[in-house]
Structure 1
Amino acid sequence: MPISPNQGSTGGGTLVTITGTNLTGTTAVTFGTKPASNVTNVSPTQVTAVSPSGTGTVGVTVTTAGGTSNPVPFFYVGAPFKSSLAPTSGPLAGGNTVTINGVGLATATSVSFGANTATPTVVSDTQLTVAVPAGAAAGPVGVSVTTAGGTNNGLSYTYVDVPTVTSVTPSSGPASGGTGVTIIGTNLDTTESVTFDGTPAPFSVVNTTTLSAVTPPGTPGAVDVVVTNAAGSDTATGAFTYVAAPGI
């Protein structure tokens, strides 16, 4: 007499299907010592019921006018606990892989990023990997993991859109570097790096449309300024010109 699924939340509420013979007229389904609710005779060979709360492994029996069946095992599973995820941000288009660490993850069936859901790969009871689905808009969303034991929330993931650069001011400075510049564009609040001619520059985020940066030393001439975040990068071609020091 198989039961499907054969595991569920310690809080109860799992709808199970029990398959066997002579099940017509079922009067009760019992999980260990506790009666199930919503017992329904589907056919002479099938009964459905909703599990009560419980812990550990219990025997499930079916009772009819003819007696009580042999028990089949049902496993109670605790709700998952998530401790961390990495990386914590990625492109709005999704597709990157995130690792989730915690406990009770072995029976995970889905991971939700906001309103969008993906199917994870179970690495172990303490780790999952999942390909992030596309997001609806840039910004943070809650992450929840659903297992046979229930659903657990509490982590956050940030969808990031590709940055754009519209201006660099001032547009020139000495080749020795050290010029403070303001970079204007969009989606700049998630910036991970700024480069001048491929050389990283120190920067700080002012807001989503503004960055402050200090030019590194460079070679005289016009150079590209590149702003990068987790979703990609944008190149302002020839946006800053290094000027050689005067000679006498």
Structure 2
Amino acid sequence: MPLSPNQGSTGGGTTVTITGTNLAGATAVHFGSKTATITANTATSVTVTSPSGTGTVPVTVTTPGGTSNPLSFFYIGPPFKSSLSPLTGATAGGNTVTINGTGLTTATAVHFGSATAVPTVVNDGQLTVTVPPGAAAGPVSVSVTTGGGTNNGLTYTYVDAPTVDTLNPNSGPPTGGTVVTVTGTNLSTTQSVTFGAVSAAFTVLNDTSLSVVSPPTPDGQPGPSTVTVTTNGGSATAAFTYVAGPGI
């Protein structure tokens, strides 16, 4: 006589189906000392709504013919989430977020606002999840659903991808040191700026502009370079040209 599922929230409310034989006319289903609500009954199954409880309890079915052997039902407490990292990411989704807490072993879903993703459980205190696409940029609540229930309390912020419209100036000497103003959109969460493969020092002025100092070229020679601006929402590129100085 198996139970499906054989675990549920300490708060009760789990729909449990008990299968077996000679179950018709069930008059009571007990979870420990508490009585469950019977919602359906046939000769081979009884469906009930579990009462609240804690720990592991025996489940029995009583019919006019007597009381069945007991089976174990495991009560699971609601999950607790202590942290989420990173806290922001692209509106397109796709990055991996780690959630730490307790009671996460039975996690089946993580909700980012109205979007849902299936997590990978690392252990009872940690899970990882690939962030689903967001409906729009901005904060959304994050909740985790486990066998013990759903817990809210964390926030994740979707960030639109950046754009780069202009570099001013868009050229400078191979020795570097040119102060370049980058204008575009969604630049406030800029994490890095590179000229080719070389990192550049930068300052975020506001959401639409950066001040960047061009680094020297690796070989000291002039030529074109791709400037890449990377933010929490993604990356955008523009062209910069290293120009040789005059000679006489």
Report the TM-score when normalising by structure 2: 0.85
Which shows bigger deviation, 26-35 or 198-207?
Answer: 198-207
> Which segments of 5 or more consecutive residues in structure 2 lack a partner in the other structure?
none
Counterpart of 1:16 in structure 2 is: 16
Q: Give the C-alpha shift of residue 177 in structure 1.
A: 4.9
Cα gap change, 1:4/1:222 in structure 2, threshold over 3 Å: closer, same or farther? closer
Counterpart of 1:235 in structure 2 is: 237
In percent, how many aligned pairs have the same letter? 67
Q: Give the C-alpha shift of residue 116 in structure 1.
A: 1.1
Counterpart of 2:100 in structure 1 is: 101
Could you report, residue by residue, the CA deviation over 1:197-241 in whole angstroms, capped at 9, with x for unpaired residues?
A: 543222233333222333445556664432112443222112x66
Which shows bigger deviation, 105-114 or 87-96?
Answer: 87-96
**1-side partners of 2:121 and 2:132: how far apart?**
17
Counterpart of 2:181 in structure 1 is: 182
Counterpart of 2:25 in structure 1 is: 25
Which shows bigger deviation, 174-183 or 89-98?
Answer: 174-183
Pairing 1:157–2:159 present: no
**2-side partners of 1:200 and 1:138: how far apart?**
28
Counterpart of 1:4 in structure 2 is: 4
Counterpart of 1:43 in structure 2 is: 42
Pairing 1:195–2:188 present: no
**For this pair of structures, how many residues does the alignment match?**
245
**2-side partners of 1:198 and 1:24: how far apart?**
73
**1-side partners of 2:5 and 2:196: how far apart?**
59
Q: Aligned AA for 1:22?
A: N
Q: Give the C-alpha shift of residue 101 in structure 1.
A: 2.1
Cα gap change, 1:26/1:144 in structure 2, threshold over 3 Å: closer, same or farther? same
Could you report, residue by residue, the CA deviation over 1:156-200 in whole angstroms, capped at 9, with x for unpaired residues?
A: 333333321101234456666555443211221221111235432
**1-side partners of 2:40 and 2:158: how far apart?**
47
> Which segments of 5 or more consecutive residues in structure 1 lack a partner in the other structure?
none
Counterpart of 1:138 in structure 2 is: 137
**2-side partners of 1:70 and 1:231: how far apart?**
57
CA RMSD of aligned residues (A): 2.6
Report the TM-score when normalising by structure 1: 0.85
